[in-house]
Structure 1
Amino acid sequence: MFHPFDRLRTLRRSSTANLMLLAAAFIWGATFTFVKAALGEIGPFTFLTARFLLAFAVLIVPFLTRLRRGGPSLWRSGGVLGTVLFAAYAFQTIGLRTTMASRAGFLTGLFVVLVPLLSALALRRPPAPSAWVAAFLAVLGVALLSLPIDLSLAAGDGLMLLCALMVAIHILLVDRQARRHDPLALGTVQIGAVALFSGLAASLTEPLPVHISPTVWGAILFTGLPATALALLLQVVAQQWTAPHQAALLLTLEPVFAALIAFLFLGERLSGQGLAGCGLILIAMLVAEAPPFFNARHLSTSRPSGE
């Protein structure tokens, strides 16, 4: 029998998870200026190596006991998550060489559509109809916010679509694996895996930097600590208590936060089209968040009880 206190507990956990994902989206939205400045002086894979290696070094000491308890299964799962996450960063970085950053933001944001599609196809757990409506509104919002009026395609667009696919797969894998393992240990292992693969890619494609400026060090510190060590762990922990399509929609707020931060600190102003996009994304958020008040029983019973 479903008890009212179970309903309240489920809603409380869901709300906490949503706030954690919003925090992650805000942090990631704030990284744009830092990363852009750093990539003007250092190779993308070298930067990713430093970013994820710093995050891994910070996390491995406090979570060493958790890592030891996890056993080989934890390292395999974290390695898989790290491989997919590295692929997403690699496709996005290479694609940015031949496509506009605003267009890249829209194409990467297509993971919002891919998550429910892949969930229904592979996990046999189709989301509620409201999730499809919210995903549609979110994609329209990201398009208005990110795309210029000229919709011509660039050569790197295909790589951005692959990035979106990897992000969607990562969200679904985290949704499954975060309930099987200690989420903090799992997040630490995946960060280490990204650092490893980035280092291998950098050693094969980029020379070692002779000098690292304070600008690059600042970008490495910001992206390595709050934007990687903290934000990725927030995502892994939060996805224990929220559905994958809901996580995808919350993370779609990243470009909205990026635009707001640019307005506050750089004086950039959104056009009418951009403001309309922000509005649509916020409406999508409301549509996605309404069902839990009516479907708390569904949210509490949709998770496999044995995991």
Structure 2
Amino acid sequence: MIAREREDAAPRRFLPELVLVGITILWGGTFLVTKIGLADSGPLFFVGSRFAIAAILLAVLSPGLLRGWTVRDILAPALIGCTMVAGYALQTTGLQSIPSSMSAFLTALYVPFVPLLQLVLFRRVPGAMVWAGIVMAFFGLVLLAGPATIATLTLGYGELLSILSALAFAFQILFIGRFAGVVDPRRAALVQLATVAIGSYALMPLTGEHLPALTSPLIACALALGVASAVIQVAMNWGQAHVAPARATLIYAAEPVYAGLIGWIAGERFTQFGLVGAVLIVSSVVVSELKLKRD
């Protein structure tokens, strides 16, 4: 009986991590769709529409979420939503002046930022094997970006904005980990999605971005990503209630790997450096788990 209980407990223990892996794979697949959608739209309108559709979809499918709100239900998710707005706005603005490969690498700096901020803000020190995994993941991301990208790195305007976007995304992961379990994950997701949509639309006049023509590809991409964003945000809020932020960061770090694999299937090139980097990133998750197994 005890053995059976332990066998049943093992899958449940890893379920939150498997959920985060699943949404990371889904997240990686969104980049190809985003690339298609951005051909017909400015970045802020596209991001705003994607998250507005996600918020509306979540509200329609869960009508009970619209009743019985408290201040706590709004404040913490809205704070997380603000970090998401900052991250997407800084990233997309930086992309206008630097290559996408450089932007992807600098945005991935959230991987070392999360444990450092966790140490400074919350006095929580990740275990030694988690740190080892973080170092492996970071060097994997360097290889995934490619030596040519790293060689051209300078601290210009676009690069600085991309680094700040990484900082914003690091705060997003930390705050979700901090407040997950306090607010219903669907309710938190609804506020987060709505905050990103409103914030993105509000920033359009400040950046000079205009309303695009509503083409069929743009509408299809926004709808598809809206569904994906709703699933990702709810699952992320639920999963991080059971997974430490530093550990979750390592799982999310594999997103460029899945994006690269999906791109490769679609006909894009996957370099040898990228392949080694992908192996390092995936291995980092296994390495970080070794300490947990000994505990």
Q: TM-score, normalised by structure 2?
A: 0.92
Aligned to 2:292: 292
1:5 to partner: Cα distance: 9.4
Task: Give the secondary structure class of the aligned counterpart of 1:30.
Answer: helix
Deviations 1:90-126 (A, max 9, x none): 1110011111111211111111111111111111111
User: Mind listing any 5+ residue stretches in structure 2 that lack a counterpart?
Assistant: none
User: Mind listing any 5+ residue stretches in structure 1 that lack a counterpart?
Assistant: 296-307
Aligned to 2:280: 280
1:36 to partner: Cα distance: 1.7
Aligned to 1:264: 265
Question: C-alpha separation between the residues in 2 aligned to 1:76 and 1:10?
Answer: 34
Q: Are 1:168 and 2:167 an aligned pair?
A: no
Aligned to 2:210: 207
Aligned length: 290
1:40 to partner: Cα distance: 2.3
Q: Is the 8 A contact 2:93 2:161 kept in 1?
A: yes
Aligned to 1:298: none
Question: C-alpha separation between the residues in 2 aligned to 1:91 and 1:8?
Answer: 46
Deviations 1:203-260 (A, max 9, x none): 4432222x2222211211121111x111121111100111101111101111000111
Q: Is the 8 A contact 1:14 1:242 kept in 2?
A: no
Aligned to 1:87: 86
One-letter amino acid of the structure 2 residue matched with residue 249 of structure 1: L
Q: Are 1:225 and 2:227 an aligned pair?
A: yes
**Cα distance 1:7–1:198, how it changes in 2: closer, same or farther (>3 A)?**
farther
Question: C-alpha separation between the residues in 2 aligned to 1:10 and 1:83?
Answer: 37
Q: Identical aligned pairs, as a percentage?
A: 32
Aligned to 1:18: 17
Aligned to 1:140: 139
1:12 to partner: Cα distance: 3.7
Q: Are 1:53 and 2:52 an aligned pair?
A: yes
1:7 to partner: Cα distance: 7.5
Aligned to 1:118: 117
**Cα distance 1:254–1:122, how it changes in 2: closer, same or farther (>3 A)?**
same
One-letter amino acid of the structure 2 residue matched with residue 277 of structure 1: G
Aligned to 2:239: 238
Question: C-alpha separation between the residues in 2 aligned to 1:7 and 1:153?
Answer: 50
For residues 176-215 of structure 1, the aligned pairs below 5 Å read 176-204=178-206, 205-209=208-212, 211-215=213-217
The runs of at least 4 consecutive aligned structure 1 residues that moved more than 3 Å come to 3-14
Aligned to 1:34: 33
1:84 to partner: Cα distance: 0.6
Q: Is the 8 A contact 2:17 2:239 kept in 1?
A: yes
Question: C-alpha separation between the residues in 2 aligned to 1:128 and 1:4?
Answer: 29
Deviations 1:164-199 (A, max 9, x none): 111111111001111211111111111111111111
Deviations 1:139-161 (A, max 9, x none): 00011011342522253111111
One-letter amino acid of the structure 2 residue matched with residue 269 of structure 1: R
Question: C-alpha separation between the residues in 2 aligned to 1:238 and 1:184?
Answer: 12
RMSD: 2.0
Aligned to 2:128: 129
1:76 to partner: Cα distance: 1.0
Q: Is the 8 A contact 1:103 1:147 kept in 2?
A: no
Question: C-alpha separation between the residues in 1 aligned to 2:62 and 2:28?
Answer: 27
